[in-house]
Amino acid sequence: MEKLTARQRYLIAAIGMAVLMAGPFLTLGLYAWFEGVEEHRTIFLQYFQQLFPLGVALTLGALISGFVVLNRLFNTYVSGIAATSERLKVMLSSNRELRLDLQGPPELREVIHAMNRLADQRDHKIDEIEEKIKEQISIYQSLCDRSADASLLDRPLASLIYTAFDTETTGLQPSHGDEIIQIGALKVSNGNIHANVTFEALIDPRRSISSESIKIHGISQAEVEGKPTIDQVLPIFYEFCEGSVLLGHNVAFDMRFLQLKEQSTHIVFKQPVIDTLLLSAVAYPNQPLHSLESSMALLGVQIEHRHNACSDSVATAQVFLKLVPLLEERGIITLGQAIEASKKTTYARLSY
């Protein structure tokens, strides 16, 4: 029955109504005919001939009245709901501005009113999400577009000098007061990782480290107390990074911490920034996960310790070097091409 059209269901209802209205009268007449004796049948025929026109008229009148009522109910409920359903599909799929007309019986009007209110709430939520996406895109855009030397964008990825770096922090919310407690970095150039050119620093965050974060990186409060503050470490790290492209995995997270310190330290990292998380999504668009662990497993990269800033910077560098030839196969050769391809990935919208 669910596969039938509204018109087919209407015809079935009309036939059923006709049978219910005329059926009992005909059935009773036939029963009386076959059960009666010959004398009764003769009397029945005499009365039937006399009353036949009236019976036909009454039956037809009842059927016509029933069809009128059925047709009105059909148009009011079935056709109205079908039209509303089609309009609702358009409203939900392709026309956000469309709203349903208040029509039909009170019950249907109440449903339509509720649908229109839900559509208003949906549009409000969509607008909020789109606004957040714009903000998120602008954050990554600012990282990519703040290069002090635009000529680097035209150079092949394999010809550049990189500072692969990573941070460990008190928590995962830089915009809500979390701080860096460790920076680890090393240089990468000419397809090689320079393990002898490194940077490592523990930093006193001057606030507590969350227990969840300690479980991840294993750095306790006692290990960072009395260490240099971020204001003291950033100038040294800035000098270490000078003349290189910044390289990280989910680097927007690390860069957000550095951005929040620009006003207090007056240190602005204007180097081009490249992210192995985004590059992995470019090289493997059908791969569902692109975490550092997933990228390491996919590319055959192994390190001794994870969630240590120095070790993770090594892992990031190794992942990057394995991604470069894969990107070249996709026609992504220069730094500028890599950045533009990265901007188009879903992960470019991550915000912190």
Q: Which tokens hold the place of 302? A: 């192994």
Residue 233 is predicted with a pLDDT of 97
In the block, tokens 């990825």 appear at: 157
Residue 136 lies in a domain: no
Residue 53 is predicted with a pLDDT of 74
Which of 185, 333, 2 lies closest to 12 in space, CA to CA?
2
Residue 82 is predicted with a pLDDT of 66
Assess whether 322 and 187 both reside in one domain: yes
Distance CA 287, CA 157 (A): 23
The 8 Å CB, 24+ separation contacts for 126-130 are 126/96
Distance CA 337, CA 199 (A): 29
Distance CA 90, CA 94 (A): 6
User: Is-contact 189 160, C-beta < 8 A?
Assistant: yes
Q: Which domain holds residue 18?
A: 6-98
Residue 271 lies in a domain: yes
Residue 324 is predicted with a pLDDT of 97
User: Is-contact 313 164, C-beta < 8 A?
Assistant: yes
Among 64, 98, 132, the domain-final residue is 98
Assess whether 182 and 290 both reside in one domain: yes
User: Is-contact 182 219, C-beta < 8 A?
Assistant: yes
Assess whether 180 and 86 both reside in one domain: no
Beta bridge partners of 124: none
Residue 11 lies in a domain: yes
Assess whether 175 and 26 both reside in one domain: no
User: Is-contact 203 183, C-beta < 8 A?
Assistant: yes
Residue 126 lies in a domain: no
Residue 25 is predicted with a pLDDT of 66
Which of 329, 36, 266, 352 lies closest to 341 in space, CA to CA?
329
Beta bridge partners of 169: 180
Q: pLDDT digits over 80-114, tens only?
A: 666 677 777 776 766 777 787 777 667 777 877 88
Cβ-in-10-Å burial (0-12, 13-18, 19+) of 22 comes to middle
Distance CA 337, CA 352 (A): 25
Assess whether 192 and 318 both reside in one domain: yes
Assess whether 338 and 218 both reside in one domain: yes
- Number of domains making up the chain: 2
Residue 103 is predicted with a pLDDT of 72
In the block, tokens 């449903």 appear at: 111
Residue 156 is predicted with a pLDDT of 95
In the block, tokens 């970095």 appear at: 185
Q: Which tokens hold the place of 227? A: 């260490």
Beta bridge partners of 346: none
Residue 30 lies in a domain: yes
Assess whether 81 and 181 both reside in one domain: no
Spell out the alpha helix ranges (H) of the chain. Answer: 6-35, 38-73, 80-93, 106-144, 211-217, 221-224, 230-241, 251-260, 262-265, 276-283, 292-299, 309-329, 335-343
Assess whether 176 and 300 both reside in one domain: yes
User: What CATH number did the domain enclosing 168 receive?
Assistant: 3.30.420.10
Assess whether 218 and 340 both reside in one domain: yes
Q: pLDDT digits over 262-315, tens only?
A: 999 999 998 899 999 999 999 999 998 999 999 999 999 988 777 789 999 999
Assess whether 190 and 306 both reside in one domain: yes
Residue 48 is predicted with a pLDDT of 64
Residue partners of 91: CB distance under 8 A and separation at least 6 = 98, 99, 100, 119
Distance CA 247, CA 245 (A): 6
Assess whether 199 and 291 both reside in one domain: yes
Among 82, 98, 114, the domain-final residue is 98
Going by their DSSP bridges, the two strands 245-248 and 161-169 should be labelled as parallel
Beta bridge partners of 274: 247
Assess whether 226 and 305 both reside in one domain: yes
Residue 114 lies in a domain: no
Q: Is the pTM of this model over 0.75?
A: no
Residue 293 lies in a domain: yes
Residue 209 lies in a domain: yes
Task: For the chain, list residues with pLDDT below 50.
Answer: none
The 8 Å CB, 24+ separation contacts for 33-41 are none
Which of 70, 81, 71 lies closest to 104 in space, CA to CA?
81
Q: Based on C-alpha coordinates, what's the Rg of the chain?
A: 38
